[in-house]
Amino acid sequence: MYREKIDRYIDAHQNEMLEDIAALCRIESTKDSYRAGKPYGLRCAEVLGEALHLGESYGFSINNYDNYVGTIDLNDKEKQLDILAHLDVVPAGDGWTVTKPFEPLIKGGKIYGRGTADDKGPAVAALYAMRAVRELDIPLKKNVRLILGTDEECGSSDIEHYYSVEKEAPMTFSPDASFPVINIEKGHFHGQFSASFEKSEALPRMLSFESGVKANVVPAKAWALFEGLEGDAVEALIGQAEKDLGIHFTVSAEEGRLKIEAEGENGHASTPWKGKNALTGLLALTERLPLADSPQFEKVKALNRLIPHGDWLGKNLGIAQKDELSGELTLAFSILRITEEELSGEFDSRCPICANEENTLKPAKAAMEKDGFVFSTESMSAPHHVSEDSEFVRTLLEAYEVYTGRKGGCVAIGGGTYVHDLKNGVAFGASMPETENHMHGPDEFAVISELLTSAKIFAQVIVKLCG
């Protein structure tokens, strides 16, 4: 119903939609220091103001929640559907070749620029879906609200602020991922541990070890400093270690001491097998070195037993598990600091629906403490699941299938989205499953045809759920 009218409307407004996306993407809306009335800095407040101006100029009612979040309402009827998008972006970074990060460019059927895919392009596609329904006078019985946040990339405190004063709609989707429907987001278990030990002067010995920047990133680099090690002996071990571990090692002399650097590949903690963990690689190599016995070295061996290189399922920690809907538990050993007298570390585990504190947190804690570590994590976040048999999810999948000709289905992910804490929230769009749009990287882009299709799909969903 109304498909032909909606299709014609969206296609006729393609250029205008791209101009609106470009206007938002020219604003470098990365989180900045607090200013009075601007919790995330000047640019985040600026982009929110620009987006709300667009909404108001198209005849919608708007509201600004203290520059945390803005809303655009389709009508003043009973609350039914929220569309949750965000206008903040990650820093531009280096390596852009097609255009400068905040100078949007249309080329080869794509629009390039930071935020085009994540998440300004999809936000505008949702706005144009609302425009199509409104300007085509399609009758609705209930309201659709577009919620525009400004802190998704740095913790989502914006949404916490919004939901402290507003109730969740009966249904919510976020166009901040890919099609078809992401209805399961795994739980999160952030393990933190430490240990202290007596300093040993026995040679050869490790003086320090360092790897990792963020708990949710598989570290690509690690280094350790040693005293009393001969370079020739180390070089002989490295060749075989590189073959066994898939990590590249470099040895250098530093003020009479030996430094070993490890290089792997970054990855996200939700998919640790896609990276090459330099931390666990260097830890494995360290155990192979002819170091003198010491309490510190015993802790290195213990870590290699508990979270060995290549074990991203938590098998050795005793928490490996899976279920049919959400798949396997995954684990990334992501941060480690070792000195002569103490160490501290962190791992990031994404947990299936079947995981809980009894079968995950407590066994991990017991295993770590058995080897003399202090395990300080006391809780874990629950997984998020919306039934694929719900009317809401079935409606989304039906619209996706109609417009793409593809079979729809639900997807479980290890990462978290804006809707993780919403009772009836899923991620839905706005790119096709196979599209690699360089989100968070250089030359980020959105495929224009996918944005247009998304707007049409969103419009159909609005009609079906609110009409």
**164 Cβ contact partners less than 8 Å away, ≥ 6 residues apart:** none
Tokens of 101: 């990060």
Element counts in the chain: helices (H) and strands (E):
11, 26
- Choose, from 88, 348, 388, 444, the residue flagged as catalytic: 88
* Cα–Cα distance for residue pair 72/51, rounded to 1 Å: 9
Task: Answer yes or no: are the C-beta atoms of 149 and 29 closer than 8 Å.
Answer: no
Smallest Cα–Cα separation from 321: which of 352, 361, 350?
Answer: 352
DSSP 276: B
Strand residue runs (E) in 113-241: 142-149, 171-174, 177-178, 181-185, 187-196, 205-211, 217-218, 221-227
In a 3-state reduction of DSSP, which class is residue 449?
A: helix
CA distance 267 to 277: 8
β-strands 177-178, 430-431 pairing: parallel
Conformation bin of residue 59: beta by default, left when phi > 0, alpha when psi is -120 to 50: left
Nearest Cα neighbor of 333 from 216, 248, 241, 221 is 216
From 152, 153, 185, 388, the catalytic residue:
152
88 a catalytic residue: yes
Residues belonging to the active site: 88, 152
